Chain A
Amino acid sequence: EVLMVESGGGLIKPGGSLRLSCAASGFTFSKAWMNWVRQAPGKGLEWVGRIKSKTDGETIDYAAPVKGRFTISRDDSKNTLYLQMNSLKTEDTAVYYCTTKVDWGQGTLVTVSS
């Protein structure tokens, strides 16, 4: 069974930093292209970024609103995906999902507020 569990969300002040983790199991994580997708309260889905597998060059792409502030990384030895979020803004408030695009985690809520 595929399982992805996000963690690390919480309440953070504007300008602060937070690191999210996504622990994956039930599939060959090292071969998967992994994505972060977020959903602001009451709003639609927004793609945050993607990291390819090491064999595909581990290329990383980011959405324009987060480029330069967020960093996606992976540790294939731990089957874990990360999202380092810096210079957080109130508009980054959302539930953050990790996903292979087929399977999704349950999400972790990040609230940016003073």
Chain B
Amino acid sequence: QSVLTQPPSASGTPGQRVTISCSGSNSNIGGNYVHWYQQLPGTAPKLLIYRNNQRPSGVPDRFSGSKSGTSASLAISGLRSEDEADYYCAAWDDSLSGQVFGTGTKVTVL
């Protein structure tokens, strides 16, 4: 049972900007870093954003992350067909003493 809430779907046309929200609480997002993962169909997740807004090497700067209070967001600018995937936010939860993931958002490129 996920404690981080994301919209189930998001979509846009090529070149558009898409934003995905992730809502949590003081015990997770409010007090810890947020990370974002991209999961292409049939593959393992890939780290997209770590520590709220940092990109691992090799991740295009079209992807950006932000956090405010108990919510976080992932923005994809200049949407491309290869961005069609499931996206998950994640954070440590101090109350649960465990990692929690978001419910996941499926991004469709129209």
Q: Do most interface residues of chain A lie in helix, strand or loop, or is the interface mixed?
A: strand
Closest Cβ neighbor of B37 among chain A residues: A45
What chain B residues lie within 8 Å of A105 (beta carbons)?
44
Tell whether A35 is near chain B: CB-to-CB under 8 Å.
yes
Number of interface residues of A (CB under 8 A): 21
Tell whether A70 is near chain B: CB-to-CB under 8 Å.
no
What chain A residues lie within 8 Å of B39 (beta carbons)?
45
A104-B97 in contact (CB<8A):
no
- Bound together, the chains give a CA A103 to CA B96 distance in angstroms of 24
Number of interface residues of B (CB under 8 A): 22
Question: B87 CB to closest chain A CB, in angstroms?
Answer: 11
What chain B residues lie within 8 Å of A57 (beta carbons)?
none
The answer to whether residues A97 and B35 also contact, given A45-B104, A47-B98, A47-B101 and a CB cut-off of 8 A, is no
A101-B101 in contact (CB<8A):
no
Q: 10 closest Cβ contacts across the A-B interface?
A: A47-B99, A104-B44, A44-B104, A45-B101, A102-B47, A63-B98, A61-B97, A45-B88, A106-B44, A104-B45
Contacts from A to B (Cβ < 8 Å):
35, 37, 44-47, 49-50, 61-64, 97, 99, 101-107
